[in-house]
Each structure stands twice: as C-alpha cells, then as structure tokens.
A and B are shown apart, each in its own frame.
Chain A
Amino acid sequence: MTMKAIGVDIGTAFIASAKYHRDNVAAKIVRDGFFVMPYLDQRKHMLTESKVPFIVKDRPNVEGKRDIYVIGNEAFDMAVLFGQELRRPLASGVISAKEKDTEFILKEIIRRVAGQGDPGDVAYYSIPANPVDADFTNIYHREMFKRFLGDLGYNATPINEALAVAWCELEDKDLTGLSISLGAGMQNVCMAYRGLEVFSFSVARAGDYVDQQVAQSRGIAISDATSEKESEGLDLLDPKNDVQEAITIFYKAMLEYSIGHISAAMEKHRRDIKLKEPLNFVVAGGTTMPKGFLRLLADALKENPLPIPVGKVWQAKNPVLAVCKGCLKAAHKLVQDEAYDGVKDISNGQNEKHAYPTKPKEQSKSEKMEMSPKDKREQEERAKVVSNVVGGYTEAIDLTMEK
C-alpha cells in the first residue's frame, strides 16, 4: 500500500492543506472564522438553499436551544454585512481561550481540508513557535491538532511554521536562511542552517495587530479595516485614503518591531552562525500580500540593519500556500524514507534526516497515464481560481546591490 503525505497550515485566519496531485500541488483553503445566530427552521432552509456551509449545534448549558454557526468565507461576508467582527476559533496562532467550546469548528475544517487518511499516511502540520512577547505556550494547541489529524487516520507531526516556509522556498539554498511567516495572529521567525533551526520565535504583531490598530485609530470596525487591507487596490507605497495611510503606518511599525527582535536573536546566537555569503531572507503569509510590501520590508532593513548582512529578500511564490507546501515537502520526505514503517515518526523533526526535501516519488504507471480531456479542463479551471487566491508574487530585492 502506498502511503501518502499531506501538509496542513493551521493559521489564525486560514487553514490550508496541500497534497501532491500528478506534477502539481493540490491545495484546499478555508477561512477559519465563524458567525453565530440563533437557530430557526427558516434560517436553516435558507442557508441550505443558498449553499452556505454551516453547523447546527446545541447551545452549551442551555437545554432545548440550538445555534447556527456559519463558517468559512461566508462567515466573513456576513460579519461585514452586519457590521460585526468575525469570530475565530484561533487567536494569536493557537486555539483561542476566549472562544471556548468552538473546537468542533476546527475539527470540521480539518476534516474538510485534510480528508480521511489511511494507516501510515503522514501529515505535517504547522505550529507557531512560542512567543517572545506574549504569555502562552503552544502545547495544548499542538496536541489538540495532533488528535484531530490522528482521528482522521494520519500519523501527525508538528513543524515550526517559519521552518515550513524554509522547506518551501530555500530548497536551492541548502535550507539555509531566514524565513518569516507573516500571518494574521502571529509573525513566526526561523533562522535555519542546513535544515536545522538555529533560532525560532514568534511575536504577537501581525495582520490582526494592523487591523486592530487601524480600526482604533480611524474609528472603524475591525472587519472594515481587514476588508480594506485585503482589497486589491491597496498599495502600501501609495496609499489612496486615510485608512490606507493608517495601514501603511502600522505595517512599518510591525516590521520595525520584528526586525528589532530578529536583531536581538541574532546577537544572542552570533557564535552559532557563520555564513560565507549574505543571508537569504524569505517572507510568506497572507499579510505579505499587499502591493509594495517587499519594498517596505527592504527599506525597513536598510534603516535598521541586522547584525548579519542580508543579501536577497524575496516573497514566496505563493505567499498564502507556502507554509502548507513546506509541510507537504517535510511529510513527503518522511514517507519516502525507507526506515519509515507507517507506525512511528523516525525522526524528531530537527535532525539531518530532514535536511533536504526531495522531489515526489516516481509515479506509478497508472498515475503517469495521460489526463483525460475532462480532467485537463477541470485542472485549467482550478488554475484560474488559484490566481485570485495566491497572487502577489514580487521579484527579489538584492540589498547588497542597494548600498
């Protein structure tokens, strides 16, 4: 039996999975937010007819009452429509302590993105590093998702979110460099040397921080700030209105804050890091999507130079999907390992076994068969959709050429 690999990115705003599909990667993305309303038969029928994904569940501690939880993108649309904030089962990159009793939502989303696994199938899922500026750990979060994926039949292994970006983007750089995953709740940073973590940490200032600060400064709802930040018209180098101006200001503040923490970590580990060439620096995550982000980062790095000189700075090819692709490569590496018997992870996720991801296994004869015209059409249709989801790629900026 062929064991399969899957990568799962568990982010505060989106949960995504990736699997190999012929020569490509097939991804599923779900916005992990929800919108609650009291149960009414009429509402249930309307939502069913409108093809809106939702969950009906008994209200905790209240007998005879039920609630409807709209989940995914439709929940975001409803929150904007009703001028309310989108509620999320995750906060700051981990299971939210504020949103109790909502783990069933995460379970349903995981079931949807990962699908049912077979014995021996491997899932690598992303977890944030412990934060340097907040008081919580990732232990409960890590074990709960291990259980969710384990219940679906996977041998689940956690991987640092920023290290997953390195797996995705630093293949041709010996998995050496600095990687950042800039999501909604947290900013995860990892300095990797040949696939090993030199240091990693997270800071609690990312996309949500920008939204909250913009909303507070401009006196608008957080969901409106999010909507403006995610609009295609936003250019961080050329803001068009006062809200966009505020977004640019807080993006700069966020970047300067994380550069300060990276500098401190580099100073601490300076003796461990001996590079012959300038450091490669890759960024990924939904918060890097606005136009002009990379230029803003490059300027911030020039104004606040890191102790280790930075060479090229670039954005992942597909910023939103880089983490789950990195997780997929790590999972695939394990499945390919001859010592893997489908029972136990044979490595601790940090040793040299994981030093270098390789290409997918040679495909079987049946998999190599030509695609049918119907499959081809389907793939082309899907490829059209992806451009709306994962766009935003910008060419690299070489800081050594800009001095």
Chain B
Amino acid sequence: MGVLLLKKIDRFMSDISYLAKVGKLTSGDTEAVPQMKVLAMKEQHDIRAAVRSATRDEHVEMHNADKLGEEVIIDDDQPLNRKG
C-alpha cells in the first residue's frame, strides 16, 4: 500500500516538474505548483515515516566498523591487472 502511494506521488511530482518545464501550465497553475509540491512532499514524508515506524527500531552494537570491507582506488583510464 505504502509503496504504491509512494510511486503515485513520485509520478505526480515528475509530471508537475515536466509540465512546468515545458510551459504547459498556465500562470495560475505555475503559481500553484510550489504549494502542490510542498503538500506532496509533506504527504510523501508522512508515508515514509509510517513505513519507517512499521519496522522495529533495533538496538545493535557495531564493533570494528572501520575494518569492514576493502577500500580501493581505481585509475579510471588505466585498469590494473589485465590478464590476457
């Protein structure tokens, strides 16, 4: 349910941004867009908050987090260790 609503709002926001950009909205509509955007964002925020509260807030203790995984730098133009 939450996911479907999120998708709907995402789509609505994209449509509004697009229409505003290509000038298909009237001046009245354009003035209304920021307000609609704020409302949509508020609703979006409410739904996300509901999704968040639906999952448990667990207490976890992370140890040696800085040792997790490897950090590497890749030279974008000269990949290393090419094997023929």
Contacts and interface: CB of A to CB of B under 8 A. Distances in A.
Interface of A: 18, 21, 23-31, 44, 47-48, 51-58, 71-73, 103-104, 108-109, 111-113, 139-140, 143, 147, 150, 291, 317-318, 321, 325, 339, 343-348, 379, 382-383, 385-387, 389-395
A318 B63 contact: no
Contacts of B52: 147
Interface in B16-67: 17, 21, 41, 48, 51-52, 55, 58-65, 67
A150 B17 CA distance: 21
The contact size tier of chain B is 35 or more
Contacts of B41: 343
Contacts of B60: 55-57, 104, 108
Contacts of A344: 13, 17
A143 B13 CA distance: 17
A184 B74 CA distance: 23
B72 A104 contact: no
A382 B73 contact: yes
22 contacts: A18-B74, A21-B73, A24-B74, A26-B72, A47-B63, A48-B64, A53-B65, A53-B68, A55-B63, A56-B60, A72-B69, A73-B69, A143-B6, A346-B14, A346-B17, A382-B71, A385-B71, A386-B72, A390-B80, A393-B79, A393-B82, A394-B82
Contacts, number: 146
Contacts of B17: 344, 346
A394 B52 CA distance: 45
Contacts of A390: 72, 74, 79-81
Given A57-B60, A385-B72, A389-B72, A52 B67 contact: yes
Contacts of A73: 69-70
A230 B35 CA distance: 55
A343 B16 CA distance: 14
B73 to A, nearest CB: 4
**A contact patch SS:** mixed
Given A55-B60, A344-B17, A379-B73, A386 B65 contact: no
Contacts of A389: 70, 72
**B contact patch SS:** mixed
Given A26-B73, A318-B74, A55 B81 contact: no
B67 to A, nearest CB: 5
A38 B13 CA distance: 48
Contacts of B73: 21, 24-27, 379, 382-383, 386
A375 to B, nearest CB: 11
Contacts of A383: 72-73, 75, 80
Given A53-B67, A55-B61, A379-B73, 15 more contacts: A27-B71, A44-B63, A48-B64, A54-B64, A58-B58, A58-B59, A72-B69, A112-B68, A147-B51, A339-B21, A343-B41, A347-B14, A383-B73, A390-B74, A395-B82
Given A23-B76, A143-B6, A393-B79, A30 B69 contact: yes
Nearest to B64: A53
Contacts of A53: 62-65, 67-68
Contacts of A25: 73-74, 76
B65 A108 contact: yes
A140 B48 CA distance: 13
A392 B83 contact: yes
Nearest to B14: A348
A379 B13 CA distance: 42
A103 B75 CA distance: 33
Contacts of B59: 57-58
B63 A112 contact: no
A111 B52 CA distance: 17
A344 B15 CA distance: 12
Contacts of B14: 345-348
Nearest to A344: B13
Nearest to A18: B74
Contact of A393 (B55, B58, B70, B83): B83
B81 A143 contact: no
A339 B14 CA distance: 13
A242 B2 CA distance: 51
B17 to A, nearest CB: 6
